Structure 1
Amino acid sequence: MLPSVVVASIWKFILNPDKGLPSFLSSFGIQGFDKALLGQESTALWTIAFIDNWHYWGFLATLLLVAMQGVPTELYEAARLDGANLWHQLMHVTIPAIRPTLIFMFLMTGIWSFLVFDYVWVLTQGGPAGSSEVLGTLVYKTAFTEFDAGYAAAQGVSMAIFASFLLGLFILMRKRGWEI
């Protein structure tokens, strides 16, 4: 595992339109990659979202693999005997069996989405034209660029309320009997 600043710096180099992967692909005559993905308002946030999610895909894939290996094979055999095809086995055997893991994965992804500050700051600092601005960078800029600590604190409390909503959703599902 690498620190997020190192990962973001590597991706910034990879996506550099003059020296990185787009330049390399363009040199082979592959068209359409000559764009600065981090320099356009329409693609900057999506590119950062991909990079942020990329860094923990291995962890989530491992969790999913372990959960799927824990599904008893007898359930699949019984489903096949009942005439279930692969789609029905997925929908009625696999997903219900790994539901606690899936919910945990979605919950962790939601929580990690509030911690995206480092990737946004290293890659674009909220630009271009504020298109990749997230709550974390907004709070940082309000506190340390505009020197308005009170308003930044209010923004931080708002972030905490949003995160508490996710936690409240988790608690509600536990109270309703979901195994998470």
Structure 2
Amino acid sequence: MFVAPLLIVNLLVITGPGAASIVFSFTDWDGLSTPAFVGLANYAEMLSSGAVLNAFVHNILWTIFFLIVPMAMGLVGAFLLSRIRRGQILFRVLFFIPYVLATVLSAAIWRQILDPEAGIGAALAGLGIPFLADVNFLGNPSLALGSVAFINTWQWWGFLLVIFLASMQAVDPALYEAARLDGAGPAREFWNITLPSIRPTFVFLGLMTVVWSFLVFDYIYVLTQGGPAGSTDVLSTVMYREAFQNQRHGYASSIAMLLTAISAATVLGYLLLRRKLKWDV
């Protein structure tokens, strides 16, 4: 009885639409007229689409970047913050603030900062430092994806830091005391005590990073809408464009099924590896 309201909401907004997407992925549907069954035609088109392949490559690059840069920043930042005793709460709040800001607000602020005519490049040029003058971070195909990833990292890494820090504070202090008596420095403490002790948290956040990297949409859509020339397209932006701009809901549903399959394979792989390597021990 207590969980019934949650189950009903889940059924209405997740399970129901999810099941409907499976059905619609086998149809030609514009969202209004009666869906026409087309079999595997949507999947065949998706697998041969240059736009989908381009977006998939960008998702892979995005995943690799976020598994390395924000995770490393969160780990190192949390370890350094765990070494201080005064002002820790203040730093935790400061690092966490970007995560709780609305995505649209953060994106709007960064769009102004990176504006080639009125942003940081123009401001520095006015001070006699012209190396960023006329650099169009979001309009240059070579820089756009990296720029959006940088902005998302600014928002995301503070969340990782707080979670890692909470996990590190649960480590038995006696382990660090014993290591210091044996002459271990901070680097050896981090490698031999901290990392093994927070392994479940590290692996879980790695799993969620992979899943969220393939579902990324908000910052890319607000800042670039997948442009310029598809240089920041990911699977979710292609899916959105096909569904709500081209009115191809059936084809968009097949892309959604691809995202679902990737997420499911990631979670299943994580569960199998956790059992095989005994990550919970």
Contact preservation (8 Å) 1:121, 1:137: yes
State the secondary structure of the residue aligned to 1:88: helix
Matched, 1:179 2:280: yes
Farther-moved stretch of structure 1 (169-178 vs 36-45):
169-178
Pairing of 1:19-34 with structure 2 (within 5 A): 19-34=118-133
Q: What is residue 115 of structure 2 aligned with on the other side?
A: 16
| Higher RCO (C-alpha under 8 Å, 6+ residues apart) | 2
Larger Rg: 2
Among 210, 229, 240, the residue aligned to 1:110: 210
* Matching of residues 1-180 of structure 1 within 5 Å: 1-34=100-133, 35-176=135-276, 177-179=278-280
Task: Tell me how many residue pairs correspond in the alignment.
Answer: 180
Higher mean alpha-carbon deviation, 88-97 vs 124-133, is at 88-97
Q: What SS class does the counterpart of residue 132 from structure 2 fall into?
A: coil
What are the Cα deviations for residues 138-157 of structure 1, in whole angstroms up to 9, with x where unaligned?
11112223332222111110
Contact 1:25/1:33 (CA < 8 Å) preserved in 2? yes
Percent same amino acid at aligned positions? 44
Measure the CA separation in 2 of the matches of 1:99 and 1:31.
Answer: 45
The farther-off stretch of 81-90 and 63-72 is 81-90
**Amino acid corresponding to residue 15 of structure 1 in structure 2:** L
The SS at the match of 1:55 is helix
Unaligned segments of structure 2, at least 5 residues: 1-99
Using structure 2 for the length normalisation, give the TM-score: 0.60
Alignment RMSD (CA, Å): 1.8
